[in-house]
Structure 1
Amino acid sequence: MADKNYTDVTIAGKIYTLGGYEDEEYLQRIATYVNSKQNDLKKTMGFLRLPADYQNVLTQLNLADDYFNARKKAAMLEAKVEMLEKEVYNLKHELVTNQMKYEKNHD
């Protein structure tokens, strides 16, 4: 089993120690993403006047929105890949069929 990695990260001006089996670079990257999401929300008019629990919920909702949009995009890309793979298969089949006809007519 892999060793657990720990790294200090800064989110909203506070230092947290994150631990996980992912490498430290990954842990830093996700912390940076959360931090930038919070910074973006702080630029929204009225956000800083909200109670801290509302700010946290809005941050969580925005992160969940990003997650679901990414899942939707991934599903669309997977469907496109599947369609393109079928198209390639059909084109290969057509090519083989045409090669066989050509060879039959030129023997």
Structure 2
Amino acid sequence: MGEKNKIDVTIDGKSNTLVGVESVEYMQRVASYIDKKYSDIRKMDFAKGMSTQNISIIASVNVTDDYFKAILKNREYESKTSQLMQENRILKDKIEKLSIDLLKIRKNVR
């Protein structure tokens, strides 16, 4: 296991310490992502006067929504990649067959 990194970050105006094997830059990006979720929610009218706990719940739901959408998008990409790979194999087979046919034609012309 890699060396652990430790970083102080601010999320929703509160100081937090993150410890992990990921790079400091990565952990900072994660913290910034979460902080932006809180910030976006706090800017909305419905969040005025809402408890930090309720804002945390909404932020968690929003992050989970982003995560599920990313999973679905990844599945779409995997499916498309699989389809393209299959098409590629078919085209390679056609090229091979045409190459063989061309060689036969060239042999017969001589």
* TM-score tier (shorter): over 0.9
CA distance in 1, matches of 2:20, 2:77: 29
Structure 1 SS opposite 2:15: strand
1:70-103 Cα deviation digits (max 9, x unpaired): 0100110011111111111111110110111111
When Rg is computed on C-alpha atoms for both structures, the one with the higher figure is 2
CA distance in 1, matches of 2:18, 2:48: 26
1:4-27 Cα deviation digits (max 9, x unpaired): 110001101111000001111110
Q: Is the 8 A contact 1:12 1:35 kept in 2?
A: yes
TM-score (norm 2): 0.92
Q: Is the 8 A contact 1:48 1:55 kept in 2?
A: no
In the alignment, structure 1 segments of 5+ residues that lack a partner are: none
CA distance in 2, matches of 1:15, 1:69: 29
CA distance in 1, matches of 2:67, 2:25: 20
Instruction: Identify the residue that residue 86 of structure 1 maps to in structure 2.
Output: 86
Report how far residue 48 of structure 1 moved.
2.6
Instruction: Please give the root-mean-square deviation of Cα atoms over the aligned residues, in Å.
Output: 1.0
Correspondence 1:11-30 to 2 at 5 A: 11-30=11-30
Correspondence 1:26-37 to 2 at 5 A: 26-37=26-37
TM-score (norm 1): 0.94
Structure 2 SS opposite 1:49: coil
In the alignment, structure 2 segments of 5+ residues that lack a partner are: none
Q: How many residues align?
A: 107
Deviation >4 Å, runs of 4+: none
